[in-house]
Chains A and B, each alone.
Chain A
Amino acid sequence: MAAASVLAASCSGGGGASSQRVTVFAAASLTDAFGAIAAPFERAHPNVRVRFSYGPSDGLAQQIRSGAPADVFAPAGEAWMDVVAKDPGVVDRADFARNHLVIVIPSTNPGHIRSLHDLARPGVKLVLAAPGVPAGDYARRILRKAGIAHAALANVVSNEVDVRGVLAKLDSGDGDAGIVYTTDAQAAGTGILTVPIPSRLNVLATYPIAVVRGSPAASLARAFVLTLRAAGFLPA
């Protein structure tokens, strides 16, 4: 079904002789997943180039509202899609992926982190995405659910602008622990280990995607969205 619609969309979208561009604004946590999908999409659509602008969902949403030339928007949470849906508006909105969160630590584990509750131990250097960044909001929700928000948030040494910032601080070994999406942890190098968050305390992050209203490459953008949905990208 999905494959058929991809084909249909690609026929209507990719017909131009000169090369066309689809610009995708995507949450930083989607960097690896989207990078992997671009190549097959471009193979299926000769003359089409996909450009990505990865960044914090909130920042991307603001850019789109200020008229940035985005054809597709894929933030890391519903809230920022709601913002863009209001202005300038979106079409073909759908959730295409789900993600959980996980604790990440440097492989040397300098903070001796073994469980979620260790994040509340005094002196632990906790690095989170900033409030307002979806990953940061999810992390805080988990800490609240676990009843350790007060102590753990007192351990925060840095509010990063996105999950990649969190990983960078742990990869260098300067932070003791952070909370990021499972997919980011998987994509991180060998310098990073994970500590699971119990599923009753974890949250499910959904990834919405949509074509931005007014996109000059709307039909191609729609084809890209359908490709993603068909790929069934569904992180652990």
Chain B
Amino acid sequence: MVRSRVAALLAVPALAFALVPLVALAVRAPWSHAGSELSRAGARTALAVSLEVSVGATILAVVLAAPVAWALARIEFPGRALVRAIVLLPMVLPPVVAGVALLAGLGRFGVVGRVLSHLGVTLPFTPAGAAVAAAFVSGPFAVLTFEAGFRSIDERLVEAARTLGASRWRTLRTVTVPLLRPQLLAGLVLTWARALGEFGATITFAGNLKGSTQTLPLAVFQALQTDPGGAILVSLVMLGLSVLVLAGLGGRLLER
């Protein structure tokens, strides 16, 4: 009894801080003509672009993050702290700075982008570019959670499996991955959620075009300039999506 009261006391300020603005969104939303407002703001198209871009970004981020996270967690090598600092850097960078840096690096006349465009690959103004921007910014979340996961593996369990005659592959499949599952999924969810919300790097690097690079946050920002009601409704669509994923998947996982 007392405990739950203490818990409530401790939780209420943060709950209120998070909830008041979000509930206010729902209160201020023009529900009576929600349908027409949403379609005017291009919500459906932006939702499709957002899903495509955020999933692409998550895949890219995870593919890049998993090996480096493994190295950071399991291998002692000189300069490890520096490597960690560098791969986590995008997390503390203002997203607009990330966008400018991406243009300088991967833009049409960028240091590496120049080579890419000779190969016929242009990233700015494409959904792929938006995914790259989101992966750049959200990747550190995958590195952080994966590294913590790889560190937490109980080596004795892996050794036991090997001693009992399991092959390397079978050990990985039946022992290591199941042990890691909560961390891997938490990493996926955090990375995806950050990619979904990405705004600054995306608009700076990939631009803002409906049906191509205009994700939900960009649609919110554009709607805000002409049609605040539409902006609120699109924000609610984003919010709903995030809550669904965080509560459904992430919440339970982070509890462990």
Using a CB–CB cutoff of 8 Å, the interface residues on chain A facing chain B are: 56, 58-59, 62, 106, 108, 110, 125, 127, 130, 132-133, 156-161, 165, 168-169, 172-175
**CB-defined interface of B10-30 with A at 8 Å, one 1/0 digit per residue?**
000000000000000000000
Interface residues of B in 73-96 (CB under 8 A from A): none
Interface residues of B in 195-214 (CB under 8 A from A): 203-204, 206-210, 212-214
Q: Is the CB of A133 within 8 A of B225?
A: yes
Q: Is the CB of A59 within 8 A of B224?
A: yes
Which residue of chain A has its CB nearest to the CB of B106?
Answer: A174
Q: Is the CB of B213 within 8 A of A158?
A: yes
Q: How far is the CA of A62 from the CA of B225 in the complex (A)?
A: 7
Q: Say yes or no: is B104 at the interface (Cβ < 8 Å to chain A).
A: yes
Q: How far is the CA of A125 from the CA of B226 in the complex (A)?
A: 25
Chain B's nearest CB lies how many Å from the CB of A41?
Answer: 29
| Residues from chain A with Cβ under 8 Å of B209 in the complex | 156-159
Listed from nearest, the 5 A-B pairs whose CB atoms lie closest are A158-B207, A157-B125, A173-B109, A58-B225, A132-B226
> Contact check: which of B104, B207, B224 meets A157 at CB < 8 Å?
B207
Chain B's nearest CB lies how many Å from the CB of A23?
Answer: 20
> Contact check: which of A56, A127, A156, A173 meets B107 at CB < 8 Å?
A173
Q: How far is the CA of A158 from the CA of B109 in the complex (A)?
A: 18
Q: How far is the CA of A47 from the CA of B159 in the complex (A)?
A: 75
| Residues from chain B with Cβ under 8 Å of A108 in the complex | 109
| Residues from chain A with Cβ under 8 Å of B208 in the complex | 130, 158-161
| Residues from chain B with Cβ under 8 Å of A157 in the complex | 124-125, 207, 209, 212
Q: How far is the CA of A169 from the CA of B108 in the complex (A)?
A: 10
Q: Say yes or no: is B222 at the interface (Cβ < 8 Å to chain A).
A: yes
Pairs across A and B, CB under 8 Å, 8 listed = A58-B226, A127-B207, A132-B226, A157-B124, A161-B203, A161-B221, A172-B108, A172-B109
> Contact check: which of A106, A127, A132, A174 meets B225 at CB < 8 Å?
A132
| Residues from chain A with Cβ under 8 Å of B210 in the complex | 159
Q: Is the CB of A172 within 8 A of B228?
A: no
| Residues from chain A with Cβ under 8 Å of B204 in the complex | 168
Q: How far is the CA of A130 from the CA of B42 in the complex (A)?
A: 14
| Residues from chain B with Cβ under 8 Å of A158 in the complex | 125, 206-209, 213
Q: Say yes or no: is B98 at the interface (Cβ < 8 Å to chain A).
A: no
| Residues from chain B with Cβ under 8 Å of A62 in the complex | 224-225, 228
| Residues from chain B with Cβ under 8 Å of A159 in the complex | 207-210, 214, 222
